[in-house]
């Protein structure tokens, strides 16, 4: 168990923008991630090992900051679902892109998570962040008392409240738009994942063909046999190139646009959750108002108190939410922009390399004939 940090230093002692999650280490059934951050002062680094549970600990701490006004209006950076060694098919499907390539994309997703938290004006002030990033001991594992963001309750009540009409046009529009975008983004991410998986299959098939060609090589002096064998060997090289090509294309897809769409999709979900919390608060507020109106004189004062508290909280939430939404829009456009540009640049580079390679093969073949 950690000692409490007494010093109320509200800012982090490390840079937020270049936090890295460098590795995923397998230790039996658990995955451990290495988190590296640069000290603000001087040239030192913090290297800490964290499990998924530690990430969840951090998130819970951030969720449960009841003393921060309007905390429910924050769009919390999304934490990916839990990664498991020997994950079930269901888990793999849920993780999508993040489950591929030996957890490398997953590390990137965790990295994005930490960087966004460190960059957040409200969240970065939480002590838990500093502890998480710098403490050599693992952070405490106890469950925080109240989880106001209990997903289960959200799901149950979702049916009733999600459609609740808003009092504010801005928010109503935002809610509608978010609903639409969340669906579209999720679909696009899923379809793109299908593309990547098929590309990987093709790479494997090319490998098989290349291997099968090697079996056609025959020893012997016969000039025809030799000619055929040479052709088979060369063709086998061509298919090896094709395999590499496909693998690169798939990797590029995965690491740029794939991750981009995945993060975008999870971020949209995070906004959705924030908007939902606000809507719930709105429902609560409207109920409190009604209660205050209808209250008998005995209870009236108390109900008024409740009503006032609800109003204040709701105001705070709306205030924070508006800021968050504005920020969010900027961030997500930038995020997509970056993904698309990187994606295009990488694919362009790969295509040029491959064109060269295939050209070389072609020339070599023409030389044979």
Contact residues toward another protein (CB under 8 A) are 177, 180-181, 184-185, 187-188, 190-192, 194-195, 198-199, 201-202, 205-206, 208-209, 212-213, 215-216, 218, 222, 224-225, 227-228, 231, 234-235, 238, 242, 329, 333, 336-337, 340-341, 343-345, 347-348, 351-352, 354-355, 358-359, 361-362, 365-366, 368-369
Handedness of CA 264, 270, 271, 276 (dihedral sign): positive
- If the CB atoms of residues 36 and 181 are measured against another protein, the closer one turns out to be 181
Task: Report yes or no: 54 and 132 within 8 Å, Cβ to Cβ.
Answer: yes
With respect to another protein, which residue has the nearer C-beta, 14 or 254? Answer: 254
Do residues 71 and 62 touch, judged by C-beta distance below 8 A? no
> CB of 252: closest distance to another protein in angstroms?
11
φ, ψ of residue 19 to 5 degrees: the values are -65, 135
Token pair of 297, please? 């004189």
CB of 332 to another protein, least distance (A): 9
CB 192, min distance to another protein, A: 5
The rounded distance, in Å, linking the Cα atoms of 174 and 166 is 10
CA–CA dist 273, 181 (Å, integer): 14
Q: Which is nearer to another protein, 16 or 260 (CB)?
A: 260
Comparison of 46 and 365: residue with beta carbon closer to another protein: 365
| Nearest to another protein of 240, 286 (CB atom) | 240
Nearer to another protein among residue 213 and residue 303 (C-beta): 213
Looking at residue 1, what DSSP letter applies? -
Collapsed DSSP state (helix, strand, coil) of residue 14? strand
CB of 20 to another protein, least distance (A): 26
If phi over 0 gives left and psi between -120 and 50 gives alpha, with beta otherwise, what is residue 96? left
Q: How far is the CB of 274 from another protein (least distance, A)?
A: 19
Least separation in angstroms between residue 216's CB and another protein is 5
Min CB(282)–another protein separation in Å: 24
DSSP 52-97: HHHHHHHHHHHHT-TTSTTGGG--PPPPPPPP-TT--HHHHHHHGG
Q: What's the closest the beta carbon of residue 189 comes to another protein, in angstroms?
A: 9
Rounded Cα gap, residues 33 and 25, in angstroms: 6
Question: What's the CA gap between 367 and 369, in Å, rounded?
Answer: 6
Smallest distance, another protein to C-beta of residue 246, A: 9
Residues 6+ apart with CB under 8 A from 20: 35, 36, 37, 111
3-state secondary structure of 144: coil
Query: Of 354, 334, 331, 269, whose CA–CA distance to 117 is shortest?
Result: 331
Among residues 67 and 169, whose Cβ is nearest to another protein?
Answer: 169
Q: Which is nearer to another protein, 196 or 321 (CB)?
A: 196
Nearer to another protein, 8 or 215 (CB): 215
131 three-state secondary structure? helix
| Residue 295 near residue 305, CB atoms below 8 Å | no
Nearest distance from residue 315's CB to another protein, in Å? 27
- Cβ distance 259 to 105 under 8 Å? yes
For 354, residues 6+ apart whose C-beta sits below 8 A from its C-beta are 241, 245, 248
By C-beta, is 219 or 297 nearer to another protein? 219
């Amino acid at each position: 168990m950690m000692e409490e940090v007494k010093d109320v230093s509200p800012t982090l002692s490390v840079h937020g923008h270049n936090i890295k999650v460098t590795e995923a280490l397998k230790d039996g059934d658990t995955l451990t991630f290495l988190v590296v951050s640069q000290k603000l002062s001087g040239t030192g680094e913090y290297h800490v090992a964290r499990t998924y549970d530690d990430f969840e600990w951090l998130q819970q701490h951030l969720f449960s900051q009841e003393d921060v006004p309007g905390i429910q209006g924050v769009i919390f950076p999304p934490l990916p679902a839990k990664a498991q060694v020997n994950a079930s098919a269901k888990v793999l499907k849920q993780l999508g892109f993040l489950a591929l390539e030996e957890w490398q994309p997953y590390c990137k997703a965790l990295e994005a998570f930490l960087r966004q938290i460190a960059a957040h004006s409200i969240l970065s002030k939480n002590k838990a962040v500093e502890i998480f990033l710098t403490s050599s001991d693992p952070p405490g594992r106890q469950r925080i008392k109240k989880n106001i963001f209990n997903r289960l309750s959200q799901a149950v009540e979702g049916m009733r409240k999600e459609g609740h009409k808003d009092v504010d046009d801005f928010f109503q529009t935002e809610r509608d738009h978010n609903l639409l975008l969340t669906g579209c983004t999720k679909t696009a991410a899923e379809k793109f994942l299908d593309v990547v998986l098929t590309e990987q299959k093709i790479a494997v098939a090319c490998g098989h063909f290349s291997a099968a060609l090697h079996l056609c090589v025959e020893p012997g002096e016969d000039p025809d046999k030799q000619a055929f064998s040479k052709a088979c060997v060369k063709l086998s090289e061509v298919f090896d190139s094709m395999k590499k090509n496909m693998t690169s294309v798939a990797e590029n897809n995965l690491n740029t646009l794939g991750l981009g769409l995945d993060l975008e999709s999870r971020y949209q979900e995070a906004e959705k959750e924030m908007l939902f919390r606000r809507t719930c608060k709105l429902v609560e507020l409207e109920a409190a108002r009604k209660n205050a109106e209808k209250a008998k004189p005995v209870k009236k004062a108390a109900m008024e108190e409740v009503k006032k508290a609800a109003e204040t909280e709701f105001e705070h939430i709306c205030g924070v939410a508006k800021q968050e939404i504005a920020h969010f829009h900027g961030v997500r456009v930038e995020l997509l922009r970056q993904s698309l540009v990187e994606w295009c640049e990488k694919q362009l580079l790969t295509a040029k390399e491959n064109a060269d390679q295939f050209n070389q093969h072609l020339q070599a073949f023409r030389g044979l004939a």
